[in-house]
Amino acid sequence: MTARYNQSLEEVIRTLQTNIEQGLTTEEAQRRLEEQGPNALEQAKKTPMFLRFLLQFKDALTIVLLLAAVISIVIDPHEWIDSLIIVIVVVLNAILGIVQESKAEKSLEALNQMSAPKATVIRDGKKTRIDSREIVVGDILLLEAGDSVASDARLIEVHNLKVDESALTGESVPVTKEVKELEEVPLGDRVNMVFASCNITYGRGVAVVTTTGMDNEVGKIATLLMSTKNELTPLQIKLDQIGKTIGILALVVCIIVFAMEVLSGMGILEAFKTAVALAVAAIPEGLATVVTIILALSVTKMVKQNAIVRKLPAVETLGSTSVVCSDKTGTLTQNKMTVIKVYHPDTGVVRLENSDDPEVIKMLNYFTLCSDGDIVVKDGKEEAIGDPTETTLVKASLLKGYTKSDLYKEYARKEELAFDSDRKMMTVFYRYHDRLISITKGGLDVILARCDTIPNKEEILQANEHMANDALRVLAVAIREWESMPKLEPTIVEDHMTFIGMVGMIDPPRAEAKEAVSLAKRAGIRTIMITGDHKLTATAIAKDLGILEEGQLAMSGSELQNLSDEEFSEKIEQYSVYARVSPQDKVRIVKAWQSQGKVVAMTGDGVNDSPALKSADIGCAMGITGTEVAKGAAALILTDDNFATIIASIKEGRGIYDNIRKCVQFLLASNMGEVFTIFTASIVSLLTPLNLGVPLLPIHLLWVNLITDSLPAFALGTEEAESTVMERKPREKEESFFAGGLLSTIVWQGIMIGSLTLIAYIYGNSIDHNVGMTMAFLTLSTAQLVHAFNVKSHHSILNKSLFSNRYLWGAFLVGSLLQILLISVPVLSNIFKLVPLTVTQFAICILLSLSTVVICESVKRINRK
């Protein structure tokens, strides 16, 4: 679609084949509607629920389990209980997965909801109100304050028209629109255009529609959203890799054991039962469920900390974040202009809060009087009415104790000359006691040019430069006294004035953002500012927050567009600030950091942020100021719009990752112990005259994996994050889940548990096979319950920390009680093929289980030395 902002108005009208006065005819509009389609955004195709449910069964572990269950029941239908339990476990895991995925992406739906439902156009020469879906290219739009723009359009006529484009461009100040033809400029500088889903805040205008639907700027964002794939989080990738590895190993070992059992003289049916038992032992059935529940519990905890997680694994991803790309407006700043500094000839440049000089206050009141905005109090809350710049000036007077209504008791408003973009000034006449005065506000250059009385021009210019260096937007005010009301012509009214002073305003940083950036820096996390605002303003804010440090640079969107992706990736480390950027630029920035192996979090609140929110490893949307589009594209929503909440979430994420590693260590060590027990028994039976048989049945292993293991694993997931968690560097994106010796720890701890279980089994099997199975079952389950305490900390547990997790103690007591019930209650013991034990046999099992503490404490002591 050809850009229209850089064409002459005559060329635009001729190309679009429309008429400024008459608009389109009804017949022509209908024809174009049929040809172009409705002025609406395309909907993303959703995966059917049934297909999403089936996709839950594609996991390697799930496939191995289902195969074992099916083959088992085909070979021996009498052994249906084991198969039924396996199927129930698999189906429950699938249901849990589908529930977590049921929050389908609503980004495009939210984009549609943002579109103005009605619009005013000229059709057949008449003003007509139509559904915005029926708008076509060439329609003449009539725009008024309060309207939401229905479609992108080139302006034909403006009357003090201002448009809030912050949701689309990130620009915090409403844009003053003009009709003039432009050169090639970025989206934020196209002042002769209005864009769909932006709001008219002031004045009125007429425009010709240039694009509709997906061709609009907001439609391009929708296209980006549809073309951006949902990437798996690092945790999902790692757990998927673990699952596939375990599944392949389980199949290989099962085949080997089956062959060994057959070679040792065991019947094919019994050998297959051993292989199935080994498959069940090797596969940590509860792993996915435990991790999901740990994340769910963490999500509940994070809600209390003002963070809503839309996708469970996202909280872990945030914990591994190494780069935070943050939008400026409304995220790092307050999204409200504020007068920071003032200049009066009597005082010089001073901060507003430090000046109570009567002349300064009088100057602020002049600014307030020369404005149409106001601040009123409703239900105890201040509410700004009118243009944000004007309400900012009213607020400055309010801080000094003057409301607009107070001033109107002394100043009687008479006439005004409204602001326009050519004059860049506004003038209001007041009767003040027996005097008639005019108050004029505007840009410093135009005000000075019209003043006869200027106290110290050189000092004023230096003050202006001082404020400009702080990226403050400067407005000046001047007055003139009159004998009688003059003719209301700018050349007459706005001349021969007396300069009074000026103010500098900016959208200030959030108070808590500076500390949050500092905390992130100590945690090894780089904060990057991305904004649609001007480079000078962005740089000043970034320096104030500590984002832009010595040796780091800022880049504009136009500079970025001149770099290839390869050049940009090479230079990415140099830049901490990006200004005047487009939605596509934001995605490029995110992807460039990702190409360097970084885990990238993107924060934002506007429509313009949504593609980058979705492209990032984790998107964080603002809950208060955030658009529904941004929330729909994000994985995390900050309900207090507080940048500091991101840092708290990162700490929580790091703690959760530690807890998940503990859970995986605990569960896989337990499974390793089970595999070692059965595998070793098979080798002993094959290589020696001693026929040990099967130490544990599939039903025993399923019980241990789903009940005995899962309860302590859940409890380990509630461990509080260590106090030093934010003092270490972020994990590398490609870092193995088993880094830091985790795999070797799992192996030796698995052999430890397996060896203790095998000792108990051999002892009991010498008395009776059922006694041996019961002793193996009790030793295995109790050893794992005890071992959970060893895993809770890398340090010794023989101190106060032993009692710090009440959930772990609860899991230990419940697990122990269940084991005793299984052995003691005849109905249950018959199902599980267990027998009562003597006191001696029971004591041996308990002592063997407790020995895991002695062994682990000894290893920890050796490691410390």
Residues labelled as active-site residues: 327
- Strands 473-482 and 435-442 turn out to be antiparallel
**Burial track 352-375 (b if 16+ CB lie within 10 A, e otherwise):** beebeeeebbebbbbbbbbbbbbb
Instruction: Tell me which DSSP letter residue 616 carries.
Output: S
Residue 685, CA atoms < 13 Å, CB-side half-sphere:
24
Q: How far apart are CA 124 and CA 27, in angstroms?
A: 9
Q: Is the dihedral of CA 845, 847, 848, 852 positive or negative?
A: positive
- Which residues are bridge partners to 550 per DSSP? none
Q: How far apart are CA 663 and CA 289, in angstroms?
A: 11
Q: CA nearest 388: which of 367, 405, 372, 364?
A: 372
The tokens of 297 are what? Answer: 């519990």
Q: How far apart are CA 212 and CA 36, in angstroms?
A: 8
Q: How far apart are CA 693 and CA 809, in angstroms?
A: 35
- Residue 772's alpha-carbon distances to 236, 266, 841, in angstroms, are 39, 19, 10
Which residue type sits at 339? V
Q: How far apart are CA 573 and CA 120, in angstroms?
A: 49
- Strands 153-164 and 193-194 turn out to be antiparallel
Write phi, then psi, for 362 (nearest 5 degrees): -60, -40
- Asked whether the beta carbons of 739 and 689 are under 8 A apart, the reply is no
Q: How far apart are CA 859 and CA 156, in angstroms?
A: 80
Q: How far apart are CA 165 and CA 583, in angstroms?
A: 13
Write phi, then psi, for 663 (nearest 5 degrees): -65, -45
SS3 per residue for 261-301: HHHCCCCHHHHHHHHHHHHHHHCCCCHHHHHHHHHHHHHHH
Residue the block writes with tokens 């200027």: 454
10 Å Cβ neighbour count for 621? 31
- Strands 199-209 and 153-164 turn out to be antiparallel
Helix, strand, coil in percent for the chain, rounding step 5 = 55, 20, 30
Q: How far apart are CA 439 and CA 451, in angstroms?
A: 12
- Asked whether the beta carbons of 788 and 715 are under 8 A apart, the reply is yes
- Asked whether the beta carbons of 508 and 472 are under 8 A apart, the reply is no
Please give the full DSSP string across 114-169, using - where no structure is assigned.
Answer: HS-SEEEEEETTEEEEEEGGG--TT-EEEEETTPBP-S-EEEEEEEEEEEE-HHHH
10 Å Cβ neighbour count for 237? 14
The tokens of 517 are what? Answer: 């950036």
- Asked whether the beta carbons of 788 and 718 are under 8 A apart, the reply is no
Q: CA nearest 400: which of 348, 351, 355?
A: 355
- Asked whether the beta carbons of 568 and 543 are under 8 A apart, the reply is no
- Asked whether the beta carbons of 640 and 605 are under 8 A apart, the reply is no
Q: How far apart are CA 521 and CA 270, in angstroms?
A: 61
- Strands 140-144 and 118-123 turn out to be antiparallel
